[in-house]
Amino acid sequence: MSQNPDIIRQELEVANKWLDISIERFVANMRKLKIVDTGTLLDSFKKQVVGSSEGRLQLQLSYALYGKFVDMGVGRGMGQGVRRGDDGYDRIRQSRGRLKRYNRKKRNWYSREMGYQMKRLSELMSELHGMLLISATSDALPSEDVTLTF
């Protein structure tokens, strides 16, 4: 089943606007929660809308992996390759392995917002296809009066 080019264009517009708004909201959440250590996570967002051969849209939103760990409040808090006994280990950790500077805490910049944004995208697409279905049905109706008996 081939889709109308107007429908595809409208879907692309909705998808691009949704990605822009989602990234804005993620960045706002990170600033609000003060997750701006180096700015690498803020700058790592990439978005792409890809049309597939079946006529379906695929949206890709990517960011630095460590952003998930910040969201969950997990991770070692050290650079890669630092082991017990190394110089960097004693500088960052106590003898029992606990972090000296800060305790990790969960900072939900992603999970709650992503759930909301996915729900919102489904509502936008349903609304778009509902309006297109209504307009296609009204265009297909004859110009004369139609009576329906229930």
DSSP characters over 19-88 = HHHHHHHHHHHHHHTT--SSSHHHHT-EEEEEE-TTS-EEEEEE--THHHHHHHT-S-SS-TT--TTSHH
**Residue 120 counted as domain residue:** yes
109-134 confidence digits (pLDDT tens): 888 888 888 899 888 888 887 877 77
Give residue 147's pLDDT band: very low, low, confident or very high (50, 70, 90).
low
**Residue 18 and residue 6: Cα distance in Å, rounded?**
18
- At residue 95, the 3 state secondary structure works out as coil
Q: Would you state the pLDDT for residue 1?
A: 43
- pLDDT above 80 for 12: yes
Convert 98-147 into a string of H (helix), E (strand) and C (coil). CECCCCCCCCCCCHHHHHHHHHHHHHHHHHHHHHHHHHHHHHHCCCCCCC
**Residue 126 and residue 149: Cα distance in Å, rounded?**
29
**Residue 114 counted as domain residue:** yes
In whole angstroms, how far apart are CA 11 and each of 25, 113, 117?
21, 22, 16
Between 133 and 106, the more confident residue is: 106
**Residue 2 and residue 137: Cα distance in Å, rounded?**
18
- At residue 25, the 3 state secondary structure works out as helix
**Residue 56 counted as domain residue:** yes
**Residue 92 counted as domain residue:** no
**Residue 67 counted as domain residue:** yes
User: Which structural domain, as residue segments, surrounds residue 117?
Assistant: 5-74+106-127
* Interval 135-142 mean pLDDT: 67
pTM tops 0.75: no
**Residue 132 counted as domain residue:** no
Q: Which amino acid is at 132?
A: L
57-99 confidence digits (pLDDT tens): 888 889 988 888 888 877 656 666 667 777 666 666 776 666 6
Q: Would you state the pLDDT for residue 47?
A: 92
Q: How many domains does the chain contain in total? A: 1
**Residue 138 counted as domain residue:** no
Between 57 and 55, the more confident residue is: 57
* Interval 2-9 mean pLDDT: 70
The pair of three-digit structure tokens given for residue 32, joined into one six-digit string: 């609000």
14-29 confidence digits (pLDDT tens): 889 999 999 999 999 8
**Residue 70 and residue 44: Cα distance in Å, rounded?**
14
**Residue 115 counted as domain residue:** yes
- pLDDT above 90 for 9: no
Between 47 and 111, the more confident residue is: 47
